[in-house]
Structure 1
Amino acid sequence: MYNKMASLKRLLQLPRGWQTCRQITGTDGITLHLRATRKTASCPECLTHSHSVHSCRRRRVQHLPCSGQALWLVFAIRHWYCRNPSCSRKIFAESLAPFAGPQQQSSALLKNLQHQLGLIAGGEAGRRAAVASGIQISADTLLRRVVQAPEQTENRTRHVGIDEWAWHRGHRYGTLIVNLDTHRPLVLLPGREQRTLAAWFKKYPEIQVVSRDRGGIYALAARDGAPQAIQVADRWHLLKNIGDALERMMYRHMPLIRLVATELSPQKTEC
C-alpha cells in the first residue's frame, strides 16, 4: 500500500509531508483528501517548533488535471499555538508553499499551465481548451494569470516580430517589436522611421529571425540594422498570401470548376 501511495504522489506531483486519506470521484472531477504526516510545525515568525494544535480547517486547491478530469486536493490545514512568549504571532497555520501560495485556489503548477494557455490562446479560446482538458477556469481568470505573471529577464533576443500600431488610424502609426520566444513586448516606438528602427536592431546583434509584414520600411530597417537575420513573413500575412494565391487560382479555373460542379450536381436531370 505504501509503495502504491508513493507512486501516486510522484505521478500527481503532490506536495511532500502529506498523505492521501480519501478519494472521491464525482461530476466535478476527482477529489483527494490529504492530511499532514508531521507531528510538529515551525512558527514562520520565530521558527519555534510547536506540538500544540489549535484547530483544523479544510483548504481546497485545484491541481493539474488527471486523465481529462479536474483534480481537487482538499488539505486538512492545522492551526498551531506558538509557545514562544516573545513571539508576536500566537497562532499560525501550516503552509503549502511552494506547492500553493497563501490563499491561492490553484497549485503553482496549474497556475503556470494556465499562464501558458493564456499566452498561447488568449482568454475565451484558452478557456475552451482548458475546460476540454479538465481545468475549470474562466476567461477572465486566464487573462489575469497572464497579467499577474512576474516579469522575466530576457538575456537573449533571437526571434522578434515587428508590426505597426495606430495612434490615430489612417494618420499616425507607431511600431511594436515583440520577443517571439517569450511573447512579450520589447519596445514600443512612436513612429515607423527606417533610421530609428535600424538603430534599435543594431543594439541586438544576436537577432536571428525577424518576422514582419509586407511593408518595405520594416524590410529595409531589418536589412540595415540586422543584416545577419533572416526575414520571414508573419503568420497573418502568410495566410493572406495563401488565400490570395488560392483565390487567383480558383478564378483562373472558374469555368472548369463550374462545369464539374454542374456535372456532379444531384439536381441535374436529363432532357
Structure 2
Amino acid sequence: MCNFIVYYIPMIPQFILPSNLQLKAETIYSEPGVLHIHTSVCQKYSVCPICGKKSNRIHSRYFRTLLDLPISGLLARVKLKARKYFCDNAVCPRKVFTERFDYEIRPYYRRMVRSNDLLTRMALELGGNTGAAISRYVGVPVSSSTVLRVIKKIDIQSTVLTSGVIGVDDWAFKKGKTYGTVIVDLERKQVIDLLPDREADTLAGWLKKHPEIKTVSRDRYGPYALGVKTGAPHASQVADRFHLLMNLGEATKRIFQSKGKELREIFTLYNDPKRGIAAPVEIDQPVRSVPETTEPYISTANISVDRQHKFDKVKELYGNGVAIKQIARTTKLARGTVRKYIVMEQLGKRQSRTSTNLDAFINFLLQHENRGKTYRELHKTIIQMGFNGRYAQFCCKMNEVYNTQPFIRTKSITAIPIKTWSPTRLSLMLYMESDQLHGNDDKDFLRLLFEKLPQVKQMEQLVKGFKRLFIAKEDGLLKNWIEEALKSECGLKNFARNLLKDYEAVNNAVITTISNGQVEGQVNRIKNIKRKMYGRAGFQLLRKMVLAKSA
C-alpha cells in the first residue's frame, strides 16, 4: 500500500497551474512519481457552444482528469470538478452543454493545452517511437500512436502566394517504386507543398493555382517539363546543373564500358614491366595444377573492364604458382575474392538457387594443404567462399571425388603488381584538372589512354568545356558546345541531341545562378523525417510533418 501526503491549500500557486484559469484548489497530494491536484471551477457562467448565449443555470457536475506539465520531476494530474449547464435559449437545439473555458482546457482533451503544445513540438522533432520514448523522461508519457495522432491534428495553412521562384524534385516513398514531388520556394528556402506522385497532370494542377510563379527549377525528368509547360506556360524553366553534370558522367561511363577490349589492352600495356611502371617481385612458390578450360571465354554485360582484367591476372598468376596472399597483394583484391576467382571458370557465372555450386570448389578442396581436414572444416571454408549448398549435399559429393593432387616445386616466379581503373573512375578523371588527380599513376595512365585512344582525349576536352559553361555564364556558349559535340567522334552525340530537346531549360541553367541545390537539401530532410516515422508515415502524415517544420 503506497503512502501519500495530503496538502490543503487555499489557493493554487501560479507556478503549478496557469493563472488565467478560474480554478479553486481543494486538495493536493502526492504518491511516488505522481502529484494529484483536486480542483473545482469558480466561473459564474458558461457560454453555449451552439448559440453563444451565456448560462448560469447548472444541470449537474462531473469529474475530468487532465495531464499537465510535470512539477519538480513529478507527473502532474489535475482532477477537475466541472459542471454542465442548461441552455435557456428556446431556439437552440442544444439543451444541456458542458462547461467551456477560454484558456488551456478544451473539450474532450485529456491534457492541458500547454502540455499538448510541448508534445506537439516533441512529435515534430522526434517522430513516433522516439517521441514516445522521450515523453516518458520529460513527464508527459504517451504512446507512439498518440504522438502520431497529435501530428494529425495539426492544422496546416496552405501557402497562397510564393516568391515566384520555385524548385521541383521527386522524393521516394519506396525507392524504385513509389515517388512523390516536393515543391520548394527557392528565395524563402522553405517547402511549400508535397504532392502524392510525380505525374505531369498533378504538377500542372498545382501550378494553375499559383499564377504568381515565374521561374521553375527542375531536373530533367520529362513529366516535370510537361507539367510546367501545361500548368505555367508563361514560366521559364531552369534545368538543374548537378543533374546535367551527372548525365554527362553517365554518358562518359557508358562510352568507357563499350570500349572494354581496348581498355584491357591498355591495362596490359600499362602494367608491362618493360615500360618501367611496376617493379617485379621475386618469390618461390609451388606450382598448382589447374585444369585447362576448353570453352572460349564469353563476356557478360554486367562485368566491368577492370574486374575482367584482374580476373585474368589472378588466373595467370595462380597458374604460375604464385601464392594466394601474394596474388591478393598484387591485384589489390581480398584473399577470399582471389580464391573465388581461382575456382571459377569464367567471371560472372551464376548458379541457380535449387542446385549447388560445389563443382566450382573441387579443385580447391583437392589441394594438398586441405588433406587431413574434416568435412566440417572444409564445408565451413567453402561456405565463406560462396558455396550455396547444405552440409549433407557436400558430404555425398565429397565421398565420390575426394583424392589428392601432387605438388611440383619450381624456381623463382615473377609477380608484377597490376593497376586498373574502373569506367566510373575514368569518367571522374575526365572532369579533374591535372593537380586534382591522385598521384602519378592517374596522370601516366591518362597520358597513355589519350595516346592510344585519341577520341578519349577529345571527349575530355568536351567534358571540361561543358563544365566551364556554368562558370562563364555567357549566352550562346551552349549552342557552340552542342555543335562541337555533334561533329565529334567521341560518343557524346546522343547526349548533345538530348540537350537540344530541352535546350531552353539547359541554357537557362548555363546563364543564370538559379540552382536546385536547396531542393536537394529538402529531399534529404524528408528522408530523415520519413525514417523517424518507422514505416507509418502515410502521405498526409508525412506532409504535415514536413510543412509544420517548414513554417
Which bracket does the TM-score occupy, shorter chain normalised?
0.5 to 0.7
- Are positions 1:77 and 2:82 aligned together? yes
- The whole-number CA distance in structure 2 between the counterparts of 1:4 and 1:160 is 57
RMSD: 4.6
Secondary structure in structure 1 of the residue aligned to 2:147:
helix
Counterpart secondary structure, 2:117: helix
- Unaligned runs of at least 5 residues, structure 1: 238-271
For 1:115, what is the secondary structure of its paired residue? helix
One-letter identity of the residue aligned with 2:77:
W
Aligned counterpart in structure 2 of residue 164 of structure 1, from 128, 153, 171:
171
Q: Deviations over 1:56-90 (max 9, x none)?
A: 11111112233433222221111123344454333
Provide the rounded CA distance (Å) in 2 between the counterparts of 1:83 and 1:166.
54
Secondary structure in 1 matching 2:156: coil
Q: Which residue of 2 aligns with 1:244?
A: none
Tell me if 1:227 matches 2:513.
yes
Which residue of structure 2 lines up, in the alignment, with residue 59 of structure 1?
Answer: 64
Asked if the contact 1:35/1:76 (under 8 Å) is kept, the reply is yes
Match of 1:37 among 30, 42, 55: 42
* Structure 1 residues 93 and 174: alpha-carbon distance in aligned structure 2, compared to 1, 3 A threshold: closer
CA contact (8 A) 1:174 1:190 kept: no
Q: Structure 1: how far apart are the matches of 2:30 and 2:20?
A: 21
1:142 matched to 2:147? The reply is: yes
Letter in 2 for 1:72: R
Partner of residue 27 from structure 1, selected from 18, 22, 32: 32
Letter in 2 for 1:186: L
Q: Which has the higher contact order (CA 8 A, sep 6+)?
A: 2
| TM-score computed with the length of structure 2 as normaliser | 0.33
Residue 8 of structure 1 aligns to a residue whose secondary structure is coil
The answer to whether the Cα contact below 8 Å between 2:57 and 2:85 also exists between their aligned partners in 1 is yes
* 1:140-189 CA-partner distances (Å, limit 9, x unpaired): 110111122112333568998966316673xx674542769888853442
State the match for 1:102 in structure 2.
Answer: 107
**Amino acid corresponding to residue 128 of structure 1 in structure 2:** A
Contact 1:17-1:37 at 8 Å conserved across structures: yes
Paired with 1:235 and 1:167, the residues of 2 have a C-alpha distance of 17
2:15 maps to what in 1?
Answer: 8
Query: Is 1:88 the counterpart of 2:96 in the alignment?
Result: no
> Who wins on radius of gyration, i.e. which is larger?
2
Letter in 1 for 2:100: S
CA distance in 2, matches of 1:173, 1:102: 40
Separation (CA, whole Å) in 1 of partners of 2:44 and 2:172:
60
Q: Distance in 1 between matches of 2:166 and 2:130?
A: 25
Greater fraction strand: 1
Alpha carbons of structure 1 residues 111 and 151: separation in structure 2 relative to 1, 3 Å: same
Q: Tell whether 2:129 aligns with 1:124.
A: yes
The share of aligned pairs that are identical, in percent, is 17
8 Å contact from structure 2 (residues 11, 25) kept in 1: no
Shift of 1:122: 1.3
- C-alpha distance in 2 between matches for 1:235 and 1:87: 50
Aligned partners of 2:108 and 2:48: how far apart in 1? Answer: 18
**What TM-score does the superposition give when structure 1 sets the normalisation length?**
0.60
Change (3 A) 1:163 1:5: same
Counterpart Cα distance in 2 of 1:53 and 1:83: 11
CA distance in 2, matches of 1:194, 1:127: 39
Match of 2:198 in 1: 189
How many Å separate the matches in 1 of 2:168 and 2:27?
50
Residue 28 of structure 1, CA deviation: 5.0
Given that residues 41 and 94 in structure 1 are in contact (C-alpha distance below 8 angstroms), is that contact kept between their aligned partners in structure 2?
yes
Distance 1:102 1:173 in 2: 40
CA change 1:126–1:53 in 2 (3 A) is same
- Aligned-residue offset at 1:117: 1.7
CA distance in 1, matches of 2:92, 2:183: 50
CA distance in 1, matches of 2:76, 2:61: 22
State how many pairs are aligned: 222
Shift of 1:25: 2.0
Shift of 1:22: 2.2
Q: 2:182 aligns with which of 173, 177, 183?
A: 177
Range 110-119 or range 39-48, more displaced: 39-48
Deviation at 1:224, TM superposition (A): 3.4
List gaps (5 residues or longer) in structure 2. Answer: 1-8, 201-218, 248-469, 471-504, 525-551
